[in-house]
Structure 1
Amino acid sequence: MSEKRKRVYEALLDGATEGLSGKALFDFVLERCPKATSKKIVRASLLALTDPDVTDRNVLHTIYALAIAHRMDEVGSTGDPDGDENPTEKTPCCGN
């Protein structure tokens, strides 16, 4: 996982664990990672949803709701705001 993605992921988990949700969680992540886009936050959300170490049902539900709410934010943009990311980068699986 790239360092940028890891920071967004950690901010997302920290905010959700603190009880933030919706816009408050999104704003918290943006405050900690000012260059994060909706797309990056959705990707970090998907990583959290597949992380076997994240077991709190409320945190998972909050992250899922955020991912769904912001999934379409980047659709329709002409450029790729995440052009620096490697599309072939593999998601870590099961702590390997």
Structure 2
Amino acid sequence: MSKKLNKIYDALVTGAADGLMGRDLYDFVNAECRKASAKRIVKASLFALSDPGIRDRCVLEAIYALAIDNRLSSLGVEEDDHEADDDDANAPTISEERKTRLESSTSRIAATGADLTLAAGDKSIH
């Protein structure tokens, strides 16, 4: 690893070990390494994730999240488009009539003999 990458790596691991996550970890790395580009932060993060000496789950999760955020922001992706499914006009809808029929048909499902036996058995056990 180059000196710059090694310094970014050390800052990432130190900040994550101190409990920093997200924007706080990013600010810490930038304070330690003034000229840290998103590409170098992602590269140093990948080195940290592949380091067998780092075994703390919280540290690894913080570094992983920072790497993903920086990689996506460098690509110009700010938020996940798949999260906004509620506003999708192409999504199939169910009519109110069918909803009502479905609700009424499920409420009329009779319990089987096995269901009644299980329910009675649960009441007698203290």
Under a length normalisation based on structure 1, what TM-score does the superposition of the two structures give?
0.75
Deviations 1:16-41 (A, max 9, x none): 00000000000000000000011111
Query: Which structure is larger by alpha-carbon Rg, 1 or 2?
Result: 2
Structure 1 contact 39–73 (Cα < 8 Å) conserved: no
1:9 aligned partner: 9
Unaligned runs of 5+ in 1: 77-96
2:44 aligned partner: 44
Higher relative contact order (CA 8 A, sep 6+): 1
Q: Note the aligned Cα RMSD (angstroms).
A: 1.0
Write the distance in 2 (CA, Å) between the matches of 1:50 and 1:14. 16
What is the number of equivalent residue pairs in this alignment? 76
Give 1 or 2: higher helix fraction. 2
Greater mean deviation of Cα atoms: 66-75 or 45-54: 66-75
Letter in 2 for 1:44: A
The structural deviation recorded for 1:62 is: 0.7
Write the distance in 2 (CA, Å) between the matches of 1:18 and 1:37. 22
Write the distance in 2 (CA, Å) between the matches of 1:28 and 1:51. 21
1:21 aligned partner: 21
Unaligned runs of 5+ in 2: 77-126
Aligned pairs for 1:1-96 within 5 A: 1-75=1-75
Identity %: 53
Runs of 4+ in 1 over 2 A off after TM superposition: 72-76
Letter in 2 for 1:40: R
The structural deviation recorded for 1:73 is: 2.8
Write the distance in 2 (CA, Å) between the matches of 1:32 and 1:7. 8
Under a length normalisation based on structure 2, what TM-score does the superposition of the two structures give?
0.58
